[in-house]
Structure 1
Amino acid sequence: MRIVYVCLFELVLLALHNAVVFGSPVDSQAPFGTNPGPDARLSKPQRRPYGFWDSLFNPEWVARQENVIEDVFVDQVTGDVYYSERRPTEGGRNILRKAPTQEAVFDGPWDARSRAHEYGGGHAIAHNGTVYFSNLSDNRVYQVLPGGVPKPVTPACPEWRYADFIVHPLVPRFLLAIREDHTYTLGDCIVNTIVIIDTETGVVRGAGTAWPVPPQPGCEPDAPSFLDSPRLSPDGRYLAIRAWYHPYMSWESSEIWVCDLQPQYDSAGEATLGNLGLCNRIGEDEEIALGEPNWVNAKSFMFTNDVDGYINPWIYDVRTGKTRRLLPSVVNEDFGEATWRFGMSHNAVLYNDYILSTSFRDGRSQFYVIKISDGTYQRFHTPLAYVSYIRRVADGVVVFIGMTDTTPLTLWKMSIKPRAQVMALDELTYELNTIGHTDWMDDAFPVAYISLPTAYTFNNPTTGESIHAIYWPPTNPDYAGGLPGELPPVVVNVHGGPTHMAQQGLNWETQLFTSRGFGWLSVNYGGSMTYGVEYRNRLLGKWGIVDVDDSVQAVKQLGELGIVDGSRAVIRGGSAGGFTAFTALATVPDLFAAGTSMFGVSDLRTLQAVLHKFESHYLLKYVGGTPENDPELWRERSPVSNAANIKSPLLILHGAEDPVVPVDQAVTMLDAIKKHGGRVELRIFEGEGHGWRQAETIKEALEREINWYRDVFSGNQSSA
């Protein structure tokens, strides 16, 4: 087996890691992005209490680095690559750019985003130089011709939200998209359908298929609750689309339907699209989840399937109607993750008989090239820690969003080529380059300040079950460590979801803390994705129990290893992670010295009453029962009910316009803790929703959190 790694970019970073010289006296540390001068670095690293180191990274600088690439899409006619970029300094709006020139697709106040499913994604597509995108302010779809300005191609109807576009390859005036209709906003009366958009007339109509499903509750009893991933075969004859039904999320139970869709021609020979025809159903078992359909050719497509306990790649043959596993045996890794957003992808077609597919191991992406005809495969070892949104560009060429341990999330191009004329797995080589924005490289890059992750697997002493976690140690070359005999405090970070994941790779928020002398521990508690179905199902009926216990055990056992000071652990999280932070402080009141909850859940009962459709049945499985048939369980699991137990100082941060977890969840918790004499502080950020998008919010939230922990540990000795 011979593999050649070509990645000059990584060599540059390594050189920077070994050669860069930075720094200034600790009482006047210059922020990263300024030039402290050749004599600024300390001649000898100092010792200072962990958590109180000065750092080149400050919250303002981190906020400016948050121009995150949220999606990438490829014009399949021209091969041009485009990406969507979040702009915190412009109110958090999304712009569209063309790679690698970074040319903007439009000027002006446009915001390329969708609120379908509330989490959005899949908000743009390009075809033959023309770009289409969903605009957040009015929810209309806009067309941008080459050199033109955005023009609406859907009616003015703010109740209609669009996502997951696909252009018909034979009749490109027609877009297919998922439409979420909020005309009637009562629960299941929000209707999700596949629609056809005529970009020349502005007419939007339903695809008109008779779904092959039994009646379902709600306003559309003969339709699924949700749809995503509409994918047309290369000849435009078939549509593959994923469907699922309440009470499931797509990664718990879902199907793929393959429907006939052929152009029709009028007497003048002009082509149009009729309704979807006969649909075949794949995956009728409620206990399995399918996803990510991706056409290999006009007669077959690959998809993911978790029927064997792990999300693995499969293939479907339209001619026979049969499916088969792509790999010769089950690989105990998940080739996918929770699809909270439209458009996520972990696979792409390389050549007629080869695909690229990525999985996860210990929170880190793994690369596989799989030969379709016989299931043999080759693994590539790359410097990338996390990748998603993989798109085909041409034979052997893909693009994706990814990050390494020393480079943040950006756009990458990978070329996979045979060494000889005859294609052979053991003769494949790859080349890897960044093609997206690299504003963070404008300044000398302080790689020596970057903390690198280590994956840990602990065992629960009571159940014997595994607990997965990732740890980043304190890292700052200006300091030789803390005080003699001192171990570092640790920030226990709990991911959201709750069926989501923490991954390896560079995150500036993490580095903000590790460069100040904090350890950072991200816990993939039982219920997290990418560790198999059985691991994920550990949380069913036990949200607020398993997640808390696993987080507690992870920090205790890391402390027992002598890596962190377990008596100086703080816990923080956003959304579902904020719920876990609340619950841990209330149920294990003597373990954590402080906590921060960002847009977190405090009262499950009131949240269930107002949850948006996408998650309206989600809590029922992970709490158990309903607030009506088991009110005591829902009361007891709600952190606000146990607020009297919270002894540690608690910082609560929330967006005023959060559509997922309303801000009254924060206010209720604030009032309950104050009533019992606890120390608590609430900051509500105007103009923010479920998560931070604006630079000023990002900056202030980080400043408040750092100061909160420093105040707890030693009484305002220093500031962020």
Structure 2
Amino acid sequence: MSSVKVNRPPTALSAEQAVAGLKDYGQLTCDADGVLFWVEYRPEEAGRNCLMRYANGVGQNLTPPEFDVRSRVHEYGGLSWCLIDQQSWVFVNKQDQQLYRQTLAANAPEQLTFRPESRFGEPHYDALHHRIIMIEEIHSDKNVSNRLVFMCLSSGLITVLHEGQDFYSSIALSVDGLQCLFISWDHPNQPWIATQLHHCCFDKPGQVISSKVISSQVLAGSDLKESILQPSFDADGKIWAITDQSGWWNLCCYDTDKQALLPYWSVEADCTTAPWQFGGYHYVFTQDSVTVMRLEQASAALIQLRRGEVIRQLGSDYHQFRAITAWQNKVYAVVNSVSRLPHVVEIDHISGEIRELSGSELNSDNPSANEPSLSTSQLSLPQHVSFSVDSGEAFGFFYPPLITSSDSSPENDASQALPLLPPVVLFFHGGPTACTYPVLNPRIQYWTQRGFAVMDLNYRGSSGYGRAYRLLLHKRWGITDVEDAEAAVRYLSDRGLINARQAFVRGSSAGGFTALAALAFSDCFSGGASLYGVTDPLALATATHKFESHYMDWLIGSPATQQKTYQARSPLHHVKQIQVPVIFFQGELDAVVVPEQTRSMVAALQQQHTSVEAHYYVEEGHGFRSAANLADALEKEYHFYQRVISS
């Protein structure tokens, strides 16, 4: 029998290097003097998040080792800190979810809140009234409730700004401190489906102007037919937001006469991404212009606008922009490209000049020797592909292998080994309402450097392709995404790019469900991996956290009335149809996909003697954060596929 021989090149990334490149940045803010701050995610410190201050060309870590800047409101968190002035700030600590104040002079943080039943998130400093406006998420024995609160920094008193909605996010204050915007939504909606925009006015003492306790006017979204995100005020007090009323998330400005959000820039492209975390911004005001991200076919550009017209594109070498902020004529953002890991840049919006401030290899006070350093010639670059499906097209990014597998059977001389079509690994992103982008992912390069092709799939239902495409997964999760996976394999195989008999699927969380569903309901695949993936959507609907507790209603149907539909989609209920090897990776602290789901699936596969491996990580939750565990999982998955190919 012929065997496939794959020799990795001398420069191939190790698993440790592949995950070390996952260092990330976010939550950028400038102080009144233009000094830049950001939060840095460090996998080499078990996923700890540190607040960084960048001054005089050096990044300074402000977070003591025993603290971690991370909110867990909505489970996924987001903005976890804010500046008070140039010398002090407040942040949410991961361990107890309480708010702390810290200064440059005194490194030891001071605890401000003492509510163990509460989590806090998205703090904003109201300078006029010397208080913090933020989300409070209260966890009781019976339920979880969310509300907006003020906390007076002088007295520590916490009072309610707004309550009664299921969720809140995207707080924005006017420059004069007399107005406030925020977003709310209720079950069963998610923020990428339908939200409402609220507006509050305060008097100078800080009270809400009304005879009622709460004076919130719903400015837009009351018909629940649009997703309104990222509201803000400009320097003149005008209200802005991103809404998908046109079918695309476009930048709009509120017209007080017409009492409606009207398009400022109409483009058939999204100007933001699905908001799994709160507090992110994809546009910013820069003197007499607006700078906004444009996302076309999941590839981003940064566009400078004036009076609704395009002036120029900034940072054209990059393909993803996040956490955008500005000071004077400088725009700051976290950027990625096809050949660069995430890093922080400064862009002069007048000259277009770019200055790199931080990245895996730049200006770090805690560099890792394992972080990868690769030239473009050592990378497999993404190729955007579209292929036909029942309702039109689906999309993804194809990465060819960097080396070619060969037939090393005895009848072939080693010097004349015949090239073979490569095996392929299909990557399914999480969410499932999310997106994959054409940016450097060392884990993808890990596979291509070992002779595997990779298809990074944006199946129907992904964000980044407009509202209509995003809604195509409605009531069809486990069907449409699997159909697109099959279509992707056919597309690549018909063009002689892959060996369709060696196609593997992998995914984490919701992507893990798609991977397992593909193994259960399709015969196109030779094996797969589930990283904390959903095995039984009905169990997820009844056991998951509040933020996603009604998400299944939209993705599949009502758990109360459509149990047969859930059983029909469940890989666990169709485990007998899985006849190919599967490997599982699960965190024991996972509150989203509880470990019992994975254990039930593994036990069922073992009982029917299907080849299966399972690896559990005691200290991990939903989404592995430890570099050691990430590397261990990646290496185990690779060797698992190698054994399948060789068998």
Work out whether the TM-score is over 0.5.
yes
Partner of 1:21: none
**CA offsets, 1:146-166, max 9 Å, x none?**
221243353322221111111
**CA offsets, 1:229-256, max 9 Å, x none?**
1100111111011111111001100011
Out of 264, 268, 289, the residue aligned to residue 332 of structure 1 is 268
The structural deviation recorded for 1:52 is: 5.4
- After superposition, residues 96-245 of structure 1 pair within 5 angstroms as 96-99=51-54, 100-129=57-86, 130-171=88-129, 173-182=130-139, 184-186=140-142, 189-207=143-161, 209=162, 223-245=164-186
State the secondary structure of the residue aligned to 1:430. Answer: coil
The structural deviation recorded for 1:54 is: 5.7
Partners of 2:594 and 2:216 in 1: how far apart?
42
Q: Is the 8 A contact 1:164 1:178 kept in 2?
A: yes
**CA offsets, 1:293-325, max 9 Å, x none?**
122224212211111111111011457744311
Partner of 1:432: 354
State the secondary structure of the residue aligned to 1:264. Answer: coil
Q: Is the 8 A contact 2:282 2:324 kept in 1?
A: yes
Partner of 1:659: 591
Partner of 1:346: 282
**CA offsets, 1:569-620, max 9 Å, x none?**
11000000000000000111x3111100000000112111112111111011
Q: Which amino acid aligns with 1:227?
A: Y
Partner of 1:454: 383
Q: Is the 8 A contact 1:299 1:318 kept in 2?
A: no
**CA offsets, 1:652-703, max 9 Å, x none?**
0010100111011110110111122211111011100011111210110011
**CA offsets, 1:413-437, max 9 Å, x none?**
11111xxxxxxxxxxx412222123
Q: Which amino acid aligns with 1:649?
A: P
State the secondary structure of the residue aligned to 1:549. Answer: helix
Partner of 1:23: none
Q: Is the 8 A contact 2:532 2:598 kept in 1?
A: yes
Residues 1:127 and 1:276: Cα distance change in structure 2 (over 3 Å): farther
Q: Which amino acid aligns with 1:245?
A: D
Out of 239, 249, 268, the residue aligned to residue 311 of structure 1 is 249
* Poorly superposed stretches of 4+, deviation over 6 Å: 440-443, 479-482
RMSD value, Cα? 2.3
The structural deviation recorded for 1:90 is: 2.2
The structural deviation recorded for 1:63 is: 3.2
The structural deviation recorded for 1:133 is: 0.7
Q: Please, which runs of 5 or more residues in structure 1 have no aligned partner?
A: 1-46, 210-219, 267-273, 418-428, 716-720
Residues 1:275 and 1:368: Cα distance change in structure 2 (over 3 Å): farther
Pair 1:622-2:577 in alignment: no
Single out whichever of 78-87 and 436-445 deviates more from structure 2: 436-445
Q: Is the 8 A contact 2:323 2:333 kept in 1?
A: yes
Partners of 1:323 and 1:529 in 2: how far apart?
22
Q: Is the 8 A contact 1:75 1:128 kept in 2?
A: no
The structural deviation recorded for 1:139 is: 1.1
Partner of 1:56: 12
Out of 243, 252, 258, the residue aligned to residue 199 of structure 2 is 258
Q: Is the 8 A contact 2:184 2:196 kept in 1?
A: yes
Partner of 1:44: none
State the secondary structure of the residue aligned to 2:349. Answer: strand
Q: Is the 8 A contact 1:261 1:277 kept in 2?
A: no
State the secondary structure of the residue aligned to 2:234. Answer: strand
**CA offsets, 1:127-176, max 9 Å, x none?**
322121100111111111122124335332222111111111323x3111
Partner of 1:637: 569
State the secondary structure of the residue aligned to 1:529. Answer: coil
Partners of 1:500 and 1:286 in 2: how far apart?
21
Partner of 2:412: none
Q: Is the 8 A contact 1:407 1:506 kept in 2?
A: yes
State the secondary structure of the residue aligned to 1:578. Answer: helix
Pair 1:89-2:44 in alignment: yes
Partners of 2:545 and 2:152 in 1: how far apart?
29
Residues 1:538 and 1:142: Cα distance change in structure 2 (over 3 Å): same
Q: Is the 8 A contact 1:583 1:639 kept in 2?
A: yes
Partner of 2:410: none
Residues 1:593 and 1:403: Cα distance change in structure 2 (over 3 Å): same
Partners of 2:218 and 2:423 in 1: how far apart?
56
**CA offsets, 1:392-451, max 9 Å, x none?**
2x223121111111110121111111xxxxxxxxxxx41222212333798764432111
- After superposition, residues 336-375 of structure 1 pair within 5 angstroms as 336-352=272-288, 354-372=289-307, 374-375=308-309
Count of residues paired in the alignment: 622
Q: Is the 8 A contact 1:153 1:200 kept in 2?
A: no
Out of 436, 449, 453, the residue aligned to residue 502 of structure 1 is 436
Residues 1:202 and 1:569: Cα distance change in structure 2 (over 3 Å): same
The structural deviation recorded for 1:50 is: 4.6
Partner of 2:475: 541
Residues 1:258 and 1:464: Cα distance change in structure 2 (over 3 Å): closer
Residues 1:386 and 1:295: Cα distance change in structure 2 (over 3 Å): same
- After superposition, residues 541-620 of structure 1 pair within 5 angstroms as 541-588=475-522, 590-620=523-553
Partners of 1:481 and 1:358 in 2: how far apart?
44
Q: Please, which runs of 5 or more residues in structure 2 have no aligned partner?
A: 408-416
Q: Is the 8 A contact 1:91 1:693 kept in 2?
A: yes
**CA offsets, 1:526-580, max 9 Å, x none?**
1000111111111111000000000110121011111111111110000000000
Out of 209, 222, 229, the residue aligned to residue 284 of structure 1 is 222
Partners of 1:572 and 1:367 in 2: how far apart?
32
Q: Is the 8 A contact 2:219 2:259 kept in 1?
A: no
Residues 1:398 and 1:319: Cα distance change in structure 2 (over 3 Å): farther
Partners of 2:46 and 2:517 in 1: how far apart?
32
- After superposition, residues 484-523 of structure 1 pair within 5 angstroms as 484-523=418-457
Partners of 2:66 and 2:482 in 1: how far apart?
43
Partner of 1:8: none
**CA offsets, 1:342-391, max 9 Å, x none?**
11211111123x1111121122102221223x545544461111111111
Residues 1:180 and 1:298: Cα distance change in structure 2 (over 3 Å): farther
Q: Is the 8 A contact 1:555 1:569 kept in 2?
A: yes
State the secondary structure of the residue aligned to 1:359. Answer: strand
Partner of 1:646: 578
Partners of 1:586 and 1:52 in 2: how far apart?
32
Out of 658, 673, 694, the residue aligned to residue 626 of structure 2 is 694
Q: Which amino acid aligns with 1:260?
A: C
TM-score by length of 2: 0.92
Q: Is the 8 A contact 2:591 2:621 kept in 1?
A: yes
Q: Is the 8 A contact 1:673 1:679 kept in 2?
A: yes
State the secondary structure of the residue aligned to 2:445. Answer: helix
Q: Is the 8 A contact 2:73 2:119 kept in 1?
A: yes
Q: Is the 8 A contact 2:292 2:302 kept in 1?
A: yes
Partners of 2:347 and 2:315 in 1: how far apart?
13
Partners of 2:305 and 2:625 in 1: how far apart?
38
Q: Is the 8 A contact 1:292 1:303 kept in 2?
A: yes
The structural deviation recorded for 1:635 is: 1.0
State the secondary structure of the residue aligned to 1:673. Answer: helix
State the secondary structure of the residue aligned to 2:358. Answer: coil
Partners of 2:584 and 2:104 in 1: how far apart?
46
